[in-house]
Amino acid sequence: MTIRALVFDAYGTLYDVQSVLAKAEALCPGKGEVVTQLWRLKQLEYTWLRSLMLEYEDFWQVTGAALDFAVRAVGVEPNDAICEPLIENYLHLDPYPDARATLAALEGRKLAILSNGTPRMLQALLRNSGLDQWIETVISVDSVRAYKPHPSCYGLVEPALGIARIEVLFVSSNSFDVAGAKAFGFKVAWVRRAGAGGQQTMFGMLRGRAEELGHAPDHTISALTDLPGLVRAGE
C-alpha cells in the first residue's frame, strides 16, 4: 500500500528535548545534565499517570510539574528565575540537524505532527524553528484529553488527514510511541537515534532500545534522512 501521509512525533523525533541542557546547566550549575534527563523521564511518566488516573492536565502543566520534580530531586528549590526560562525553552527547542533536510526532501507529500504538546506549544515551536513551512497539519492530543500511547490519540489522525491508517507512515524516536502507533494499525518507522552503542546514560539506554510489548516497527532507521528513500522504495 502506498504511503499517502507521514505523521511525525514532535518531541524527541523532530525536536531535541535535550537541547535545554545548556540553559539547565547555566541555571543549576553542575546539575544541568541530571535535571535535563530527569525532567524528560518524569514528563513522560506524568503523561501516563495522568491518563491512567483520568486526571488530565495539558502538556504545558505536565511539563512544569515534571520540571519542579527534577529540580527538587537535585536539591534545588524551584523558583521563577530557574523554571520560567527552562519551560519557555520548550517553545524554542532545537530541531535535530536532519529534520530540515528531510522535510524539504519530502515536500509535496502530506506531512503532519501528532504530539502530546498543546496546540499553542506546537504552533509556537514550529513557527520559531521554521519547520512550519513543511508541516501542514498539527494534531494535538489535547482534544481527547489523553496522552500517547492511548489509542484515542492515534485515532485523531484519520479524520484530520482524511487518510486511512494503513496509508500512514508514523515516525517516532520514542519506543513507547512506536509500540502504540503500531498497535493502532499504522505503518511505523522508528528513528533509533541512540543505537546499541549509544550514550550510556539512563536516558540513552531507555531511548535506544525497543519496548518488549510485541509491537515491532515496520522500519528501523538511524536518522530522519533515511525516510525519503524508504518512502520512494515503497511506491
Same domain, 111 and 213: yes
End position of a domain, from candidates 45, 60, 90: 90
End position of a domain, from candidates 90, 119, 139: 90
Cell numbers found for residue 61? 502543566
Look at residues 163, 128, 156, 162 and name the one whose alpha carbon lies nearest to residue 142: 156
Structural domain total, the chain: 2
Same domain, 193 and 133: yes
- The CATH code of the domain that includes 162 is 3.40.50.1000
Same domain, 140 and 52: no
Contacts of 79 (CB under 8 A, 6+ apart): none
- Using a pLDDT cut of 90, give the percent of the chain over it: 84
Same domain, 103 and 180: yes
Place of cell 506524568: 46
**Would you say residue 196 has pLDDT above 60?**
no
Structure pTM?
0.93
Q: How far is CA 108 from CA 105, 112, 162, 206, 213, in A?
A: 9, 12, 17, 35, 35
End position of a domain, from candidates 47, 62, 90: 90
Same domain, 152 and 101: yes
Confidence of residue 197 (pLDDT cuts 50, 70, 90): very low
- Report pLDDT digits (tens) over 103-139: 999 988 999 999 999 999 999 999 999 999 999 999 9
The conformational region for residue 42 under phi > 0 = left, psi -120 to 50 = alpha, else beta, is alpha
Cell numbers found for residue 81? 528565575
Give the residue-averaged pLDDT of 43-65.
97
Active site residue ranges:
9
Q: How far is CA 176 from CA 77, 86, 111, 173, 218, in A?
A: 31, 25, 21, 9, 15
Same domain, 124 and 142: yes
Domain range enclosing 42: 17-90
Same domain, 11 and 103: yes
Same domain, 55 and 119: no
Same domain, 54 and 102: no
- Report pLDDT digits (tens) over 7-27: 999 999 999 999 999 999 999
- The CATH code of the domain that includes 46 is 1.10.150.240
